[in-house]
Structure 1
Amino acid sequence: MTELSGIHHVKIPVADLDRSRDWYTTVLGLRVAIEFAEDRVLHGLALVDPAGTLSLALRLDPARAAGLAGFDLVALRVPTRDAVQGWSRRLTEIGQPHGGVVTGHDGGSVLIGLHDPDGIEIRLYAD
């Protein structure tokens, strides 16, 4: 049988790569692993978390980024419910607006209302 084993990466459209690089590295603590250039112009970035368990790609595409503003595109897994609370405290400490922690549909903890520079919502979720 043919199998799937998870998600390799999620690609997020952005209007400004430098601004988004700063946000994803500062707010989420990701680091740039690869830069993608076409005709010597930077068009995308691959980002990873320190543990190497999460991979996000940013792709320069202002129109698509604008179309996704306000949409909760992805929920990133957080190891524990306490860790979601920790994220809430950390984001508040660095002045990053968010909507707080709510109970998810299976009783998990979800940090909502965290928006990247293009207004795309990134949720943090623990079962």
Structure 2
Amino acid sequence: MTFILEGVHHVGITVRDLERSRDWYTRMFDLTPDAINHGSGPELAQGVQVTDAELTFSMLRIGSTRIEFLEYQVPVGDDFDRRNCDVGATHVCFEVDDIEGAVADLTAKGAVFSSSPIEITEGHLTGSKWAYFRDPDGIQLEIWQSPR
């Protein structure tokens, strides 16, 4: 290998409404969003593989990683419709120190979890707990607590 993989810089999520997503994630996780940026032109369209692409984007920093939100003004994309079992479906997992406290806090802020936290009882992840919920666009999110 001729390069060094240094980590994950960001995870990109295409959203319907950039401001709504920035506000929702900021409120849910007490984060501060970066500036809103705009992009268009032939280089961008070629780079993102979307003809005539025009978009706005912004990042939220979580530790050393970022989530990038992208809203395409041109073309307007389809709504998210993936099930967790569909090829290409992804999710973002946030590590928390207290999953029960996180579920209570996020639920009070409007999150809807698909179940109570589930504890892993076998294998090398024994003692870990996780729970799924979705953002306003239906993007799958997860919170995770490692064993204490």
TM over 0.5: yes
Secondary structure of the corresponding residue to residue 27 of structure 1: helix
TM superposition score normalised by structure 1: 0.77
Query: What's 1:103 paired with?
Result: 119
- Give the greater-gyration-radius structure (CA): 2
Among candidates 67, 70, 80, match of residue 66 of structure 1? 80
Query: What's 2:44 paired with?
Result: none
Aligned pair count? 120
**4+ long deviations beyond 4 Å:** 67-72
Among candidates 47, 50, 55, match of residue 66 of structure 2? 55
Shift of 1:65: 5.3
Shift of 1:35: 1.6
**Is 1:46 matched up with 2:56?**
no
- In structure 1, distance between residues paired with 2:82 and 2:7: 23
Q: Which has the higher helix share?
A: 1
- In structure 2, distance between residues paired with 1:119 and 1:69: 10
How large is the RMSD of aligned CA atoms in angstroms? 2.5
Per-residue Cα deviation, 1:86-126 (whole angstroms, up to 9, x for no partner): 111101222321132112472211121x1111101111112
C-alpha change, 1:32 and 1:123, in structure 2 (3 Å) is: same
**Structure 2: which 5+ residue stretches go unaligned?**
41-53
* Residue type at the aligned position of 1:48: R
C-alpha change, 1:31 and 1:86, in structure 2 (3 Å) is: same
Among candidates 121, 124, 137, match of residue 118 of structure 1? 137
TM superposition score normalised by structure 2: 0.67
**Structure 1: which 5+ residue stretches go unaligned?**
none
